[in-house]
Amino acid sequence: MKRNEVLFIGFMLFSMFFGAGNLIFPPFLGIQSGSSYWPAMAGFIVTGVGLPVLVIAAVSFVDGGIQAIGNRVHPVFSTVFTVIVYLCIGPFLAIPRNANVAYEMGVKPFLSGSAHSSPVSLLLFSVVFFLLVYLTSLNPDKMSNTLGRWITPVLLLAMAVLCAAGFFKLSGRPFTAPLAGYQTGSFYKGFIDGYSTMDALASLAFGIVILTAVKHRGIANRKQMTAYTLKAGLIAGAILALVYVALGLIGAKMASSGTFQNGTDVLTAVSSLLFGQAGKILLGFIFMLACFTTVVGLTTACGQYFSNLVPKFSYHGVVIAVTLTGFTLSNLGLNTILKFSVPFLEMAYPVTIMLVVLTFFHTAFCGSKKVYGFALLFTGVFALIEGLKGFGVPLGFIGAFAQKLPLASAGLEWVVPALCGTAIGLLFSRLEHRTKETRTVQAREQSL
Protein backbone atom coordinates (compact mmCIF):
# COMPACT_ATOMS: atom_id res chain seq x y z
CA MET A 1 0.00 0.00 0.00
CA LYS A 2 1.31 3.45 -0.94
CA ARG A 3 2.36 5.95 1.72
CA ASN A 4 -0.22 8.50 0.63
CA GLU A 5 -2.96 5.87 1.03
CA VAL A 6 -1.89 5.23 4.65
CA LEU A 7 -1.82 9.00 5.16
CA PHE A 8 -5.36 9.40 3.82
CA ILE A 9 -6.62 6.55 6.02
CA GLY A 10 -4.97 8.30 8.99
CA PHE A 11 -6.68 11.53 7.96
CA MET A 12 -9.98 9.66 7.70
CA LEU A 13 -9.53 8.25 11.22
CA PHE A 14 -8.70 11.71 12.57
CA SER A 15 -11.80 13.19 10.94
CA MET A 16 -13.97 10.45 12.47
CA PHE A 17 -12.48 11.05 15.91
CA PHE A 18 -12.60 14.83 15.71
CA GLY A 19 -16.15 15.76 16.58
CA ALA A 20 -18.03 18.04 18.94
CA GLY A 21 -16.32 16.98 22.18
CA ASN A 22 -12.86 17.27 20.66
CA LEU A 23 -13.52 20.91 19.88
CA ILE A 24 -15.35 21.85 23.06
CA PHE A 25 -13.35 20.27 25.89
CA PRO A 26 -9.67 21.29 25.25
CA PRO A 27 -10.26 25.09 25.34
CA PHE A 28 -12.44 24.76 28.44
CA LEU A 29 -9.70 22.69 30.09
CA GLY A 30 -7.27 25.50 29.24
CA ILE A 31 -9.58 28.11 30.81
CA GLN A 32 -9.97 26.14 34.04
CA SER A 33 -6.45 24.76 34.46
CA GLY A 34 -4.57 28.04 33.96
CA SER A 35 -1.00 27.70 35.23
CA SER A 36 -1.60 23.95 35.69
CA TYR A 37 -2.31 23.64 31.99
CA TRP A 38 0.55 21.34 30.96
CA PRO A 39 -0.03 18.52 33.48
CA ALA A 40 -3.79 18.78 32.91
CA MET A 41 -3.33 18.57 29.14
CA ALA A 42 -0.92 15.65 29.57
CA GLY A 43 -3.64 13.74 31.43
CA PHE A 44 -6.19 14.71 28.78
CA ILE A 45 -3.95 13.43 25.99
CA VAL A 46 -3.44 10.08 27.78
CA THR A 47 -7.17 9.25 27.63
CA GLY A 48 -8.10 11.50 24.70
CA VAL A 49 -5.31 10.36 22.35
CA GLY A 50 -3.20 7.55 23.83
CA LEU A 51 -6.09 5.33 24.84
CA PRO A 52 -7.93 5.55 21.49
CA VAL A 53 -4.72 4.66 19.63
CA LEU A 54 -4.16 1.71 21.99
CA VAL A 55 -7.73 0.53 21.38
CA ILE A 56 -7.20 0.71 17.61
CA ALA A 57 -4.00 -1.31 18.09
CA ALA A 58 -5.74 -3.90 20.28
CA VAL A 59 -8.56 -4.32 17.75
CA SER A 60 -6.05 -4.78 14.92
CA PHE A 61 -4.06 -7.41 16.85
CA VAL A 62 -7.02 -9.75 17.32
CA ASP A 63 -8.74 -11.44 14.41
CA GLY A 64 -12.42 -10.65 14.91
CA GLY A 65 -11.88 -7.24 16.53
CA ILE A 66 -13.63 -6.13 19.67
CA GLN A 67 -16.10 -9.03 19.52
CA ALA A 68 -13.22 -11.52 19.74
CA ILE A 69 -11.57 -9.54 22.55
CA GLY A 70 -14.81 -9.57 24.52
CA ASN A 71 -15.15 -13.32 23.97
CA ARG A 72 -12.04 -13.76 26.10
CA VAL A 73 -14.20 -12.74 29.05
CA HIS A 74 -17.39 -14.52 27.96
CA PRO A 75 -19.44 -14.57 24.72
CA VAL A 76 -22.45 -13.06 26.49
CA PHE A 77 -20.33 -10.26 27.95
CA SER A 78 -18.80 -9.65 24.53
CA THR A 79 -22.13 -9.25 22.77
CA VAL A 80 -23.81 -7.18 25.49
CA PHE A 81 -20.83 -4.87 26.02
CA THR A 82 -20.20 -4.33 22.31
CA VAL A 83 -23.87 -3.70 21.50
CA ILE A 84 -24.15 -1.17 24.35
CA VAL A 85 -20.99 0.63 23.21
CA TYR A 86 -22.13 0.80 19.58
CA LEU A 87 -25.60 2.03 20.50
CA CYS A 88 -24.30 4.71 22.86
CA ILE A 89 -21.48 6.06 20.73
CA GLY A 90 -23.82 5.72 17.78
CA PRO A 91 -27.51 6.64 17.61
CA PHE A 92 -28.21 7.14 21.34
CA LEU A 93 -25.46 9.56 22.42
CA ALA A 94 -22.57 10.59 20.20
CA ILE A 95 -24.45 10.93 16.91
CA PRO A 96 -27.27 13.16 18.23
CA ARG A 97 -24.73 15.13 20.30
CA ASN A 98 -22.61 15.91 17.25
CA ALA A 99 -25.62 16.75 15.11
CA ASN A 100 -26.98 19.09 17.76
CA VAL A 101 -23.63 20.82 18.30
CA ALA A 102 -23.31 21.28 14.53
CA TYR A 103 -26.64 23.11 14.61
CA GLU A 104 -25.84 25.13 17.75
CA MET A 105 -22.50 26.37 16.34
CA GLY A 106 -22.96 26.24 12.59
CA VAL A 107 -26.51 27.49 12.07
CA LYS A 108 -28.15 28.93 15.20
CA PRO A 109 -25.77 31.95 15.61
CA PHE A 110 -26.88 33.21 12.20
CA LEU A 111 -30.61 32.94 12.85
CA SER A 112 -32.59 35.91 14.10
CA GLY A 113 -35.97 36.57 15.63
CA SER A 114 -38.28 33.65 16.28
CA ALA A 115 -36.20 31.32 14.07
CA HIS A 116 -33.33 31.50 16.60
CA SER A 117 -35.27 29.58 19.24
CA SER A 118 -37.74 27.72 17.03
CA PRO A 119 -37.60 23.91 17.11
CA VAL A 120 -38.56 23.98 13.43
CA SER A 121 -35.12 25.37 12.57
CA LEU A 122 -33.42 22.44 14.29
CA LEU A 123 -35.82 20.03 12.60
CA LEU A 124 -35.09 21.38 9.11
CA PHE A 125 -31.34 21.35 9.77
CA SER A 126 -31.53 17.76 11.04
CA VAL A 127 -33.33 16.64 7.88
CA VAL A 128 -30.57 18.03 5.63
CA PHE A 129 -27.72 16.94 7.95
CA PHE A 130 -28.82 13.31 8.30
CA LEU A 131 -29.73 13.03 4.61
CA LEU A 132 -26.12 13.95 3.75
CA VAL A 133 -24.85 11.54 6.43
CA TYR A 134 -26.95 8.74 4.93
CA LEU A 135 -25.75 9.39 1.38
CA THR A 136 -22.08 9.58 2.43
CA SER A 137 -22.33 6.41 4.55
CA LEU A 138 -23.84 4.27 1.78
CA ASN A 139 -20.44 3.28 0.40
CA PRO A 140 -17.89 2.75 3.21
CA ASP A 141 -15.20 1.65 0.70
CA LYS A 142 -14.97 5.23 -0.58
CA MET A 143 -14.85 6.85 2.86
CA SER A 144 -11.05 7.24 2.98
CA ASN A 145 -11.26 9.16 -0.30
CA THR A 146 -14.22 11.33 0.76
CA LEU A 147 -13.12 12.05 4.33
CA GLY A 148 -9.34 11.59 4.13
CA ARG A 149 -8.50 13.11 0.77
CA TRP A 150 -10.96 16.01 0.69
CA ILE A 151 -12.80 16.93 3.89
CA THR A 152 -10.00 16.44 6.45
CA PRO A 153 -7.41 18.70 4.72
CA VAL A 154 -10.04 21.45 4.52
CA LEU A 155 -10.89 20.97 8.21
CA LEU A 156 -7.21 21.06 9.20
CA LEU A 157 -6.62 24.21 7.14
CA ALA A 158 -9.52 25.96 8.85
CA MET A 159 -8.22 24.85 12.27
CA ALA A 160 -4.72 26.04 11.39
CA VAL A 161 -6.04 29.51 10.48
CA LEU A 162 -7.94 29.80 13.78
CA CYS A 163 -5.07 28.53 15.96
CA ALA A 164 -2.32 30.51 14.20
CA ALA A 165 -4.30 33.74 14.53
CA GLY A 166 -5.03 32.89 18.17
CA PHE A 167 -1.36 32.37 19.01
CA PHE A 168 -0.39 35.64 17.33
CA LYS A 169 -3.13 37.68 19.00
CA LEU A 170 -2.95 36.14 22.50
CA SER A 171 0.79 35.39 22.77
CA GLY A 172 1.49 38.03 25.43
CA ARG A 173 -1.21 36.93 27.87
CA PRO A 174 -0.05 35.06 31.00
CA PHE A 175 -1.64 31.94 32.48
CA THR A 176 -4.08 32.65 35.30
CA ALA A 177 -4.44 30.72 38.56
CA PRO A 178 -6.12 27.31 38.16
CA LEU A 179 -9.73 26.92 39.23
CA ALA A 180 -11.07 24.33 41.68
CA GLY A 181 -10.37 20.81 40.54
CA TYR A 182 -7.12 21.77 38.84
CA GLN A 183 -5.36 23.31 41.83
CA THR A 184 -4.18 19.87 42.96
CA GLY A 185 -4.08 16.68 40.95
CA SER A 186 -4.47 18.50 37.63
CA PHE A 187 -3.09 15.51 35.70
CA TYR A 188 -5.81 13.21 37.08
CA LYS A 189 -8.49 15.83 36.42
CA GLY A 190 -7.32 16.09 32.81
CA PHE A 191 -7.25 12.27 32.64
CA ILE A 192 -10.94 12.12 33.59
CA ASP A 193 -11.79 15.04 31.26
CA GLY A 194 -10.38 12.99 28.39
CA TYR A 195 -13.25 10.53 28.83
CA SER A 196 -15.65 13.14 27.49
CA THR A 197 -14.21 12.97 23.97
CA MET A 198 -15.66 9.41 23.79
CA ASP A 199 -12.81 8.51 21.41
CA ALA A 200 -11.67 5.37 23.25
CA LEU A 201 -15.18 3.95 22.91
CA ALA A 202 -15.38 5.22 19.33
CA SER A 203 -12.13 3.35 18.60
CA LEU A 204 -13.92 0.10 19.36
CA ALA A 205 -16.26 0.96 16.50
CA PHE A 206 -13.78 2.68 14.19
CA GLY A 207 -11.38 -0.27 14.29
CA ILE A 208 -13.60 -2.24 11.92
CA VAL A 209 -13.87 0.75 9.56
CA ILE A 210 -10.08 1.15 9.36
CA LEU A 211 -9.51 -2.58 8.86
CA THR A 212 -12.11 -2.55 6.08
CA ALA A 213 -10.33 0.38 4.40
CA VAL A 214 -7.01 -1.48 4.57
CA LYS A 215 -8.54 -4.72 3.23
CA HIS A 216 -10.12 -2.77 0.37
CA ARG A 217 -6.60 -1.94 -0.81
CA GLY A 218 -5.73 -5.59 -1.24
CA ILE A 219 -4.00 -6.22 2.10
CA ALA A 220 -4.88 -9.71 3.37
CA ASN A 221 -1.85 -10.59 5.52
CA ARG A 222 -2.69 -10.12 9.22
CA LYS A 223 0.68 -8.62 10.16
CA GLN A 224 0.52 -6.12 7.32
CA MET A 225 -3.04 -5.17 8.22
CA THR A 226 -1.97 -4.57 11.82
CA ALA A 227 1.06 -2.54 10.73
CA TYR A 228 -0.93 -0.29 8.40
CA THR A 229 -3.71 0.13 10.96
CA LEU A 230 -1.17 1.15 13.61
CA LYS A 231 0.43 3.68 11.25
CA ALA A 232 -2.98 5.18 10.50
CA GLY A 233 -3.74 5.30 14.24
CA LEU A 234 -0.46 7.06 15.02
CA ILE A 235 -1.07 9.63 12.26
CA ALA A 236 -4.55 10.37 13.62
CA GLY A 237 -3.25 10.45 17.21
CA ALA A 238 -0.42 12.86 16.41
CA ILE A 239 -2.80 15.30 14.69
CA LEU A 240 -5.29 15.03 17.56
CA ALA A 241 -2.59 15.78 20.14
CA LEU A 242 -1.40 18.85 18.23
CA VAL A 243 -4.93 20.19 17.86
CA TYR A 244 -5.72 19.58 21.55
CA VAL A 245 -2.58 21.41 22.69
CA ALA A 246 -3.32 24.34 20.37
CA LEU A 247 -6.97 24.65 21.41
CA GLY A 248 -6.06 24.24 25.08
CA LEU A 249 -3.43 26.98 24.92
CA ILE A 250 -5.90 29.35 23.28
CA GLY A 251 -8.34 28.61 26.09
CA ALA A 252 -5.69 29.20 28.76
CA LYS A 253 -4.79 32.55 27.20
CA MET A 254 -8.47 33.60 27.11
CA ALA A 255 -8.98 33.13 30.85
CA SER A 256 -8.31 36.81 31.53
CA SER A 257 -11.03 37.87 29.06
CA GLY A 258 -13.96 36.96 31.27
CA THR A 259 -16.06 34.06 32.53
CA PHE A 260 -17.07 31.26 30.17
CA GLN A 261 -19.63 28.52 30.76
CA ASN A 262 -18.21 25.96 28.34
CA GLY A 263 -15.80 25.39 25.47
CA THR A 264 -18.21 26.70 22.84
CA ASP A 265 -18.33 30.04 24.64
CA VAL A 266 -14.51 30.16 24.63
CA LEU A 267 -14.21 29.40 20.93
CA THR A 268 -17.01 31.83 20.04
CA ALA A 269 -15.25 34.61 21.97
CA VAL A 270 -11.87 33.78 20.38
CA SER A 271 -13.22 33.68 16.83
CA SER A 272 -15.08 36.97 17.31
CA LEU A 273 -12.00 38.61 18.86
CA LEU A 274 -9.80 37.49 15.98
CA PHE A 275 -12.02 37.90 12.94
CA GLY A 276 -15.25 39.61 14.02
CA GLN A 277 -18.35 38.33 12.20
CA ALA A 278 -16.14 36.33 9.82
CA GLY A 279 -14.85 34.46 12.86
CA LYS A 280 -18.32 33.12 13.60
CA ILE A 281 -18.55 31.86 10.03
CA LEU A 282 -15.12 30.18 10.28
CA LEU A 283 -15.98 28.57 13.62
CA GLY A 284 -19.37 27.40 12.37
CA PHE A 285 -17.68 25.89 9.32
CA ILE A 286 -15.17 24.03 11.53
CA PHE A 287 -17.91 22.65 13.77
CA MET A 288 -20.05 21.58 10.82
CA LEU A 289 -17.20 19.66 9.16
CA ALA A 290 -15.94 18.10 12.41
CA CYS A 291 -19.37 16.92 13.53
CA PHE A 292 -20.36 15.69 10.09
CA THR A 293 -17.27 13.50 9.61
CA THR A 294 -17.66 11.98 13.07
CA VAL A 295 -21.34 11.16 12.52
CA VAL A 296 -20.51 9.57 9.16
CA GLY A 297 -17.79 7.45 10.78
CA LEU A 298 -20.06 6.31 13.60
CA THR A 299 -22.95 5.57 11.25
CA THR A 300 -20.70 3.48 9.01
CA ALA A 301 -19.24 1.60 11.97
CA CYS A 302 -22.70 0.79 13.32
CA GLY A 303 -23.83 -0.35 9.89
CA GLN A 304 -20.89 -2.72 9.51
CA TYR A 305 -21.11 -4.11 13.04
CA PHE A 306 -24.86 -4.79 13.27
CA SER A 307 -25.09 -6.17 9.73
CA ASN A 308 -22.33 -8.65 10.65
CA LEU A 309 -23.85 -9.43 14.05
CA VAL A 310 -27.31 -10.12 12.60
CA PRO A 311 -27.01 -11.24 8.95
CA LYS A 312 -30.74 -10.59 8.42
CA PHE A 313 -29.98 -6.87 8.84
CA SER A 314 -28.51 -5.40 5.66
CA TYR A 315 -25.86 -2.69 5.90
CA HIS A 316 -28.14 -0.17 4.20
CA GLY A 317 -31.02 -1.08 6.51
CA VAL A 318 -28.89 -0.49 9.61
CA VAL A 319 -27.63 2.83 8.23
CA ILE A 320 -31.23 3.96 7.69
CA ALA A 321 -32.18 2.91 11.25
CA VAL A 322 -29.15 4.69 12.75
CA THR A 323 -29.74 7.93 10.85
CA LEU A 324 -33.46 7.96 11.71
CA THR A 325 -32.72 7.34 15.42
CA GLY A 326 -30.00 9.98 15.48
CA PHE A 327 -32.31 12.41 13.69
CA THR A 328 -35.08 11.85 16.26
CA LEU A 329 -32.87 12.15 19.36
CA SER A 330 -30.93 15.16 18.08
CA ASN A 331 -34.18 17.14 18.22
CA LEU A 332 -34.42 16.61 21.99
CA GLY A 333 -31.80 19.31 22.54
CA LEU A 334 -28.13 19.36 23.52
CA ASN A 335 -28.63 19.72 27.28
CA THR A 336 -30.79 16.60 27.46
CA ILE A 337 -28.18 14.59 25.52
CA LEU A 338 -25.23 15.79 27.63
CA LYS A 339 -27.12 15.04 30.84
CA PHE A 340 -26.87 11.32 30.15
CA SER A 341 -23.49 11.14 28.43
CA VAL A 342 -21.08 11.78 31.32
CA PRO A 343 -22.42 9.13 33.75
CA PHE A 344 -22.43 6.59 30.94
CA LEU A 345 -18.81 7.39 30.11
CA GLU A 346 -17.85 6.97 33.76
CA MET A 347 -19.27 3.43 33.59
CA ALA A 348 -17.98 2.44 30.17
CA TYR A 349 -14.44 3.84 30.18
CA PRO A 350 -12.96 1.83 33.09
CA VAL A 351 -14.23 -1.43 31.54
CA THR A 352 -12.79 -0.43 28.17
CA ILE A 353 -9.44 0.53 29.68
CA MET A 354 -9.10 -2.79 31.55
CA LEU A 355 -10.15 -4.80 28.51
CA VAL A 356 -7.49 -3.10 26.37
CA VAL A 357 -4.76 -3.41 29.03
CA LEU A 358 -5.46 -7.13 29.47
CA THR A 359 -5.35 -7.57 25.69
CA PHE A 360 -1.77 -6.32 25.59
CA PHE A 361 -0.76 -8.66 28.46
CA HIS A 362 -2.81 -11.58 27.09
CA THR A 363 0.18 -13.90 26.56
CA ALA A 364 1.70 -13.05 29.96
CA PHE A 365 -1.16 -14.81 31.78
CA CYS A 366 -1.84 -17.32 28.97
CA GLY A 367 -5.19 -15.74 28.18
CA SER A 368 -6.81 -17.10 31.33
CA LYS A 369 -10.56 -16.44 31.37
CA LYS A 370 -10.38 -16.21 35.17
CA VAL A 371 -8.04 -13.21 34.93
CA TYR A 372 -10.34 -11.52 32.41
CA GLY A 373 -13.45 -12.44 34.40
CA PHE A 374 -12.35 -11.27 37.86
CA ALA A 375 -10.60 -8.14 36.56
CA LEU A 376 -13.64 -7.03 34.55
CA LEU A 377 -16.06 -7.99 37.35
CA PHE A 378 -14.30 -5.86 39.96
CA THR A 379 -13.80 -3.01 37.49
CA GLY A 380 -17.39 -3.12 36.32
CA VAL A 381 -18.89 -3.05 39.80
CA PHE A 382 -17.07 0.12 40.82
CA ALA A 383 -17.53 1.74 37.42
CA LEU A 384 -21.26 1.08 37.80
CA ILE A 385 -21.21 2.71 41.25
CA GLU A 386 -19.55 5.82 39.80
CA GLY A 387 -22.03 5.98 36.93
CA LEU A 388 -25.08 5.58 39.17
CA LYS A 389 -23.71 8.32 41.38
CA GLY A 390 -23.48 10.53 38.29
CA PHE A 391 -27.15 9.83 37.54
CA GLY A 392 -28.01 10.96 41.08
CA VAL A 393 -28.93 7.51 42.40
CA PRO A 394 -28.50 7.36 46.24
CA LEU A 395 -26.05 4.57 47.09
CA GLY A 396 -25.78 4.90 50.88
CA PHE A 397 -22.90 3.02 52.49
CA ILE A 398 -21.81 1.55 49.14
CA GLY A 399 -21.13 5.02 47.76
CA ALA A 400 -19.42 6.04 51.00
CA PHE A 401 -17.17 2.97 50.83
CA ALA A 402 -16.23 3.69 47.20
CA GLN A 403 -15.26 7.25 48.12
CA LYS A 404 -12.76 5.95 50.69
CA LEU A 405 -10.81 3.94 48.10
CA PRO A 406 -7.42 5.21 46.85
CA LEU A 407 -7.67 7.66 43.91
CA ALA A 408 -11.40 8.17 44.56
CA SER A 409 -10.88 11.92 44.82
CA ALA A 410 -9.56 11.82 41.24
CA GLY A 411 -12.55 9.79 40.00
CA LEU A 412 -10.41 6.65 39.66
CA GLU A 413 -11.73 4.55 42.54
CA TRP A 414 -12.04 1.58 40.18
CA VAL A 415 -8.25 1.23 39.72
CA VAL A 416 -7.44 -0.60 42.99
CA PRO A 417 -10.43 -2.98 42.69
CA ALA A 418 -9.37 -3.70 39.10
CA LEU A 419 -5.87 -4.60 40.27
CA CYS A 420 -7.31 -6.75 43.07
CA GLY A 421 -9.57 -8.53 40.60
CA THR A 422 -6.61 -9.17 38.31
CA ALA A 423 -4.57 -10.57 41.23
CA ILE A 424 -7.42 -12.86 42.29
CA GLY A 425 -7.82 -14.05 38.71
CA LEU A 426 -4.09 -14.82 38.51
CA LEU A 427 -4.25 -16.74 41.79
CA PHE A 428 -7.20 -18.88 40.69
CA SER A 429 -5.59 -19.41 37.30
CA ARG A 430 -2.36 -20.72 38.86
CA LEU A 431 -4.26 -22.94 41.28
CA GLU A 432 -6.23 -24.37 38.38
CA HIS A 433 -3.02 -24.95 36.43
CA ARG A 434 -1.38 -26.72 39.37
CA THR A 435 -4.47 -28.86 39.91
CA LYS A 436 -4.39 -29.95 36.27
CA GLU A 437 -0.67 -30.76 36.53
CA THR A 438 -1.28 -32.83 39.69
CA ARG A 439 -4.10 -34.76 38.03
CA THR A 440 -1.92 -35.39 34.98
CA VAL A 441 0.89 -36.77 37.14
CA GLN A 442 -1.54 -38.94 39.10
CA ALA A 443 -3.05 -40.29 35.88
CA ARG A 444 0.41 -41.22 34.59
CA GLU A 445 1.31 -42.94 37.84
CA GLN A 446 -1.91 -44.96 37.78
CA SER A 447 -1.31 -45.99 34.19
CA LEU A 448 2.10 -47.34 35.20
pLDDT of residue 232: 92
Look over the chain and give the mean of its residue pLDDT values, rounded to a whole number.
Answer: 87
Per the document, the length of the chain is 448
Looking at the predicted structure, is the pLDDT value of residue 303 above 70? yes
The answer to whether the beta carbons of residues 162 and 270 sit under 8 Å apart is yes
The CA distance from 24 to 22, in Å, is 6
- Give the Cα-Cα-Cα angle 437, 443, 448 (nearest 5 degrees): 130
In this prediction, residue 26 has a pLDDT band, given cuts at 50, 70 and 90, of: very high
Residues 292 and 150: their CA atoms lie apart, in Å, by 13
Query: What does the pLDDT average to over 171-182?
Result: 87
Residues 175 and 39: beta-carbon distance below 8 Å: no
Q: What is the 3-state secondary structure (H, E, C) of 247-271?
A: HHHHHHHCHHHCCCCCHHHHHHHHH
pLDDT value for 16? 86
Assess whether pLDDT exceeds 90 at residue 285. yes
Does the pLDDT of residue 130 top 80, yes or no? yes
pLDDT band at 53 (very low <50, low <70, confident <90, very high): very high
CATH C-level class of 3-338: mainly alpha
Q: Taking a C-beta distance cutoff of 8 angstroms, is the pair 52, 194 a contact?
A: no
Taking the domains of the chain in order of start, what are their residue ranges?
A: 3-338, 361-448
Highest mean pLDDT: which of 78-82, 141-145, 157-161, 405-409? 157-161
| Residue 448 predicted with pLDDT over 70 | no
Q: pLDDT band at residue 43, thresholds of 50, 70 and 90?
A: very high
Q: Are 122 and 104 in contact (CB under 8 A)?
A: no
Check residue 246 and give its pLDDT.
95
CA distances from 298 to 97, 126, 328 (A): 12, 16, 16
Predicted confidence band at 370 (pLDDT cuts at 50, 70, 90)?
Answer: very high
User: Do residues 202 and 298 lie in contact, with contact meaning Cβ atoms separated by under 8 Å?
Assistant: yes
pLDDT tens-place string over residues 206-230: 887 788 788 888 887 878 888 899 9
